[in-house]
Structure 1
Amino acid sequence: MDRNAGGALDGAVVAVAGAGGPAGRAALLRLAEAGATVVAADADAQRLAEAVDAARYAHGGATVTGDTVDLLDLAATRDWADRTEKEFGRIDGLVHLVGGWRGSSRFTETAPADWALLEKLLIRTLQNTSLAFHDSLLRSDRGRLVLISAAGAGKPTAGNAAYAAAKAAAEAWTLAVADSFRKAGGEDGPGAAAAILVVKALVHDAMRAERPNAKFAGFTDVTELADAIAGVWDRPAEDLNGQRLWLTPAP
């Protein structure tokens, strides 16, 4: 049964960047269930196709499309955004799920290559997608940009220096987008909103199967994350814009 029939996402067009992983698959399912047209992108064509097919199969009649896009290429990302708006007439959301993790046991063992990779995955893909979709989201009457961040961005540990720094930079970029939305709204307030969902870490069924005795304390299940993503459209833009929404206890 559709949990959001006639709700805030009904008829919306939502782009999901990094849709091929477990969190992306859950998000596609939830957004399609809520009545959205979902336009997914990932660098891995096979994983993307599997995620798109799963969402289509689970919700017959839902429009879920997939594009293999190099989100490190700003021109290619802009082309994806332009094609999406031209085809569907509007863009009401951008969900950034491009992830990655590198760490070490000690601070002094942090590898420069870890930062080089995380800067691309966590920061540059966000920069390119937000630049490409910014104006489309402003043209929407319910535009939303959603970033998934980690609690470690505000409380980094020695072995997570590169990861925490990349997440903190991504949060700062998202808050700059929020300020742009605020300024564009003028006295009427923002018509679009950029928000950050903060987790400790994510867990999914395959992880539990691999580690049946693990507790995963404080972790957020990808289905809960998907619900939280869909839920941002239930909040007014002026209340949501520039907010960090904690899905795990704040430190």
Structure 2
Amino acid sequence: MGNGALNGAVVAVAGAGGPAGRAALLRLAEAGAVVVGSDNDPERLAEAVDAARYAHGGATVTGETIDLLDLDAVRAWAARTEKEFGRLDGLVHLVGGWRGGKTFADTDLGDWDLLEKLLIRTVQHTSLAFHEALQRSDRGRYVLISAAGAGKPTAGNAAYSAAKAAAEAWTLAMSDYFRKAGGEQGPTSAAAILVVKALVHDAMRAERPNAKFAGFTDVKDLADAIAGVWEKPAAEVNGNRLWLTEKP
């Protein structure tokens, strides 16, 4: 087990059942963290939790089916987790989703309604539910995964890019909270944004063996970058975008 910054840390992972969540559970468990995953798909979540437990015997990895669109449920999840493990050192936000079209004209505002829930509301709820516990930690980290398109939207991606930009702004407001709470000594906790172009995993490569996936970030590399947020001082990552792809 790890002996670094994550050893003994208690980290919650929202969206733990997807490929990126799976990789994050494995990496955090490997680093010695207690990992608490949530997903809205109980079967997918159970598989991800079992895989991380199996890979790292002795690691504490748990999973709960949480509706992240229910603020009270998310607050209860945060309170329960802190009570059970005595601390909360992180929330990794891996709830994704994409909808888009080819042109600006064919934008479907129904896509916005969905993405606003998936990409913004879940960030609002997890940040509001977890920020106080993260501030109480000596190494609290809130990690948002965002997309390069938030700063350079393409015509067909208006809804997606706008939702990502809103999630970034919300996360940066929380980083200002951490900055102010730290006073003259600087922040002890941090909210950071990891920026990718898009994610790729082994199953995608197997499905499209000839695809190049240029500029994509492998979910394993993303998991390394997530763990790396704890390796750096809070002041260095708080309120910063950490680029895992070329800046547009």
Structure-1-length-normalised TM-score:
0.98
Q: Hey, what does 1:136 align to over in structure 2?
A: 133
Matched, 1:234 2:227: no
Q: Hey, what does 2:79 align to over in structure 1?
A: 82
Q: Which stretches of structure 1, 4 residues or longer, exceed 6 Å deviation after superposition?
A: none
SS of equivalent residue, structure 1 residue 197: strand
Which of the residues 50, 53, 70 maps onto 1:56?
Answer: 53
Matched, 1:119 2:116: yes
Q: Hey, what does 1:181 align to over in structure 2?
A: 178
- Mapped partners of 1:134, 1:92: distance in 2: 10
Shift of 1:187: 1.0
Q: Which amino acid aligns with 1:36?
A: A
Which of the residues 105, 109, 113 maps onto 1:108?
Answer: 105
Which of the residues 192, 202, 205 maps onto 1:205?
Answer: 202
Shift of 1:158: 0.3
Shift of 1:59: 0.4
- Mapped partners of 1:238, 1:202: distance in 2: 27
Count residues in correspondence: 248
- Mapped partners of 1:46, 1:127: distance in 2: 25
SS of equivalent residue, structure 1 residue 217: coil
- Mapped partners of 1:84, 1:110: distance in 2: 40
Q: Give per-residue Cα distances to partners, 1:30-74, cap 9 Å, x unaligned.
A: 000000000000001111001000000000000000000000000
Q: Percent identity?
A: 80
SS of equivalent residue, structure 2 residue 64: strand
Shift of 1:188: 1.1
Which of the residues 119, 132, 143 maps onto 1:146?
Answer: 143
Which of the residues 214, 218, 226 maps onto 1:217?
Answer: 214
Matched, 1:45 2:42: yes
Shift of 1:80: 0.2
- Mapped partners of 1:113, 1:211: distance in 2: 29
SS of equivalent residue, structure 1 residue 85: helix
- Mapped partners of 1:155, 1:31: distance in 2: 31
Q: Give per-residue Cα distances to partners, 1:100-150, cap 9 Å, x unaligned.
A: 000101111111110000000000001000000000000000000000000
- Give the CA RMSD over aligned residues: 0.5
Which of the residues 236, 240, 243 maps onto 1:243?
Answer: 240
Matched, 1:73 2:70: yes
Unaligned 5+ segments in structure 2 are: none
- Mapped partners of 1:79, 1:92: distance in 2: 16
Q: Hey, what does 2:23 align to over in structure 1?
A: 26
Q: Hey, what does 1:6 align to over in structure 2?
A: 3
Q: Hey, what does 1:155 align to over in structure 2?
A: 152
